[in-house]
Structure 1
């Protein structure tokens, strides 16, 4: 846990992702992180930006705020968007994980992306999970693995192919998505006796680090420590254990990286790609030049993000 000196004196300003500041308390002040706050944050530097808008289409059906898990502190919910067209063939699925520094954000930030994926023939699920102010690592990881089991358990209801599921995350959600993707049915997360698998067949990492301990991850500090139950020097076990790069192997699924122009959010990516290439595992990297972090909530960058994602998933699942 944090030392008394950190509890009493730390002031952290998180400017890239959440707009969160922590003061001399154990609990951080959590400011809203959503489309509106992201536009407000970047509109002076990028006066041409627009917040993304919900998709209105008769090509998908929405079922929102479905409880999937009850913990000691909350009832966790998810949204499902799935194609409306009647088809005998089951569709690939995607679990979407929101970002926000492991402390902020909500599943609603991923709803619009989920709508676009559903319109393109995928069963898209965006889920809440326990953030650092509610429960420290590995609670959120376990929650997201339980979402994957929920998807497989309810596959017939939504015409989902349980053997074709991808995980997509943005920012902190991308770190989580990658970690979930590289630790299927893991002893580490007490999954070995689970009857339903948490394995995924593809990973989409949208501007998220893949290591907390890589030299490129030096910028990760107290906000990450709030989630990892202590700072880098106080709890090195969790910092390493929560780093997806530690588990990348010949069994890692095909992976897509979509990145901003900010190198801070690429930590460990290139080393992960080297391991994938060594094992002949398909990967793609797309960098949106001139884009800020949280570009996926903004036009003109949302549309290419959707296009890159759909193209990649079609290569893996449909073609």
Structure 2
């Protein structure tokens, strides 16, 4: 693992790179953007999860980005775009396959990841946001979104008033505008209004008790309306309650179900023969144990 590679001049522009130990050839890249309500979180918190993904035959890039309230939207989006440019420009040195890229994120990071997909696939979106297109559409093979917010109009649609206050406070900090819902310049923040048939193949998950559940459901509906077939891991109300970021609790069955679906999605979208080989090796080892 390589820690704190500098991808740009600003102090927060650092990323970690986690590679599979068994593979020497260039591997598909999974860039995962951490959550934290735009005001917190860190790349280091998820290192164990990234190692689990990397062990299946992927290089995982985990970038740091500048946080609110000191830094406002779209600073993190611009920085993640620069991280992608750095990784693409140094693909040979870093032993990456620049033609096979998947963007992923959780919570606030899922929103940033979805915006990256819109920058790449939605005509005119980059100009509206004021952030350059970070890579060619043909290189972005998939998008993984966990428990994110995607629609400003849902800022009031939460389970409790206390949660609504927290969500509004984080969006105020991120946007730098107290009346962010009335600001036309923030309209591109609502990804649900900017999806097109060129949006990349997408895997979406959210817990059934997540206060942001409606966002994921609305994004899945928006993608379906433009003729796409997003893959979803949603949970019925009858299941045990699954809260925000349930997918990281790997000692639970639900998190294991999503992990398996995500790894299958990655292998399918990247056509990763190494992942399929590692999976078969793992199955053989399990059979030997029994």
- TM-score bin, normalised by smaller chain: 0.7 to 0.9
In structure 2, the residue matched to 1:317 is 270
State the distance in 1 between where 2:69 and 2:61 align: 24
Name 1:64's counterpart in structure 2.
Answer: 3
Compared with structure 1, are the counterparts of its residues 314 and 234 closer, same or farther at alpha carbon in structure 2 (3 Å cutoff)? closer
Alpha-carbon distance between aligned partners in 1 of 2:200 and 2:228, rounded to the nearest angstrom: 7
**How far off is 1:244 after superposition?**
1.4
How many residues end up aligned between the 2 structures?
A: 253
Q: State the Cα distance separating 1:165 from its structure 2 match.
A: 0.9
- Once the two structures are superposed, what CA deviation does each residue of 1:53-102 show, in whole Å capped at 9, x if it has no partner? xxxxxxxxx1111111122xx242100012233454x3221111111110
Match of 1:22 in 2: none
Q: CA deviation at 1:264?
A: 2.3
* 1:81–1:118 CA contact under 8 A, matched in 2: yes
Q: How many Å apart are 1:287 and its aligned residue?
A: 2.7
Establish whether residue 231 from structure 1 lines up as the match of residue 178 from structure 2. Answer: yes
What CA distance in whole angstroms lies between the structure 1 residues aligned with 2:205 and 2:77?
A: 22
Query: Per the alignment, do residues 240 and 262 of structure 1 end up closer, same or farther by CA in structure 2, a change over 3 Å counting?
Result: farther
1:305 is matched with which residue: 238, 258, 262? 258
Deviations 1:97-123 (A, max 9, x none): 111110011011222222111111111
SS in 1 for 2:7: strand
Is 1:204 matched up with 2:155?
Answer: no
Unpaired runs of 5+ residues, structure 1, are: 1-61
Deviation at 1:136, TM superposition (A): 0.5
**Displacement of 1:308 after TM fit?**
2.0
Q: CA RMSD in A?
A: 2.4
The two structures have a TM-score, normalised by structure 1, of: 0.72
TM-score with structure 2 length normalisation?
Answer: 0.78
Matched, 1:271 2:250: no
Which structure: greater helix fraction?
2
Residue range with higher mean Cα deviation, 137-146 or 304-313: 304-313
**Which stretches in structure 2 are left out of the alignment for 5+ residues?**
159-163, 273-290
Instruction: Write the distance in 1 (CA, Å) between the matches of 2:214 and 2:82.
Output: 27
Whether the 8 Å contact between 1:260 and 1:292 is mirrored in structure 2 is yes
Does residue 82 of the first structure (1) align with residue 82 of the second (2)? no
- Equivalence for 1:294: 245
1:12 matched residue in structure 2 = none
Query: Does residue 178 of structure 1 match 2:114?
Result: yes
Q: Matches of 1:144 and 1:63 in 2, distance apart?
A: 18
